[in-house]
Amino acid sequence: MPSEAVLEFWFEFASTYSYVAAMRIEGLCRDAGVELVWKPFLLGPIFALQGWDTSHFNLNPRRGAYMWRDMERLTDKFGLPWRRPSEFPRNTIVPARVACAVAGEPWCGDFVRRVYVANFGLDAAIDRRDVVAQILTELGHDAAAILARAESPEWKPVLRANTERATELGIFGAPNCVVGTELFWGEESLEDAIAWALSRAAGG
């Protein structure tokens, strides 16, 4: 008997390619009948494992120059707002902790997309608590209560646990889709990951 198709989306709010993927993944999963699980994590500790103290897009100017041009093309292709952020990468611990605490809420996707558009469409300082609070308020939620929940003893450790799990899964960048233990890296692999989830659920 087929089981339910499930896909984990592992993302970092500072990651440019995660932005493009995060804006698309929920609709793609819904259309395909695949359950989506939001998995926020931090790239900093993963980059440190690879000997980097910042994004490789900063460390490698040739690679970085390509990424910024590619983002112009990709956001144009998918009709997404784009403004190159004045700070890159931003510290994302505040919104990432909130995303961990609301990952099971039906409006988590709305929050995730708002944060990404703030960072990459509006050049807003998503590292700041007041900026994240405003997003929550605009979505109709009690921002103070949710920020308190995100930093509570119950929820605060989830971001670190997610990041440790990301390390175990072999993650080295973002975004990623994970189906079981099968890892798909990059915004261009969303469709392959969804196909894998469907095939696996069908017993393939």
Q: Which residues bind its own copies (CB under 8 A)?
A: 49-50, 60, 62-63, 65-66, 69-70, 73, 77, 170-173, 183, 185-186, 188-189, 192
In the sheet that holds 35-40, the strands lie side by side as 35-40, 6-11, 176-179, 182-185
- Pick between residue 19 and residue 111 the one whose CB is nearest to its own copies: 19
Look up tokens 């103070």; give the residue: 144
Closest approach, Cβ 55 to its own copies, in A, equals: 14
Closest approach, Cβ 78 to its own copies, in A, equals: 11
- Pick between residue 60 and residue 137 the one whose CB is nearest to its own copies: 60
Closest approach, Cβ 106 to its own copies, in A, equals: 31
Tokens of 149: 């929940």
* Separation between Cα atoms, residue 198 and residue 58, nearest integer Å: 37
Which positions ≥6 away from 20 have C-beta within 8 Å? 71, 74, 75, 78, 80, 187
- Pick between residue 138 and residue 191 the one whose CB is nearest to its own copies: 191
> Could you check whether the bond before residue 81 is cis, i.e. omega within 30 degrees of 0?
no
Measured between alpha carbons, how far is residue 101 from residues 58, 110, 155 in Å? 30, 14, 6
21, 1, 3: which is closest to 198 by C-alpha?
A: 3
- Pick between residue 66 and residue 107 the one whose CB is nearest to its own copies: 66
- Pick between residue 59 and residue 161 the one whose CB is nearest to its own copies: 59
Closest approach, Cβ 173 to its own copies, in A, equals: 8
Closest approach, Cβ 65 to its own copies, in A, equals: 6
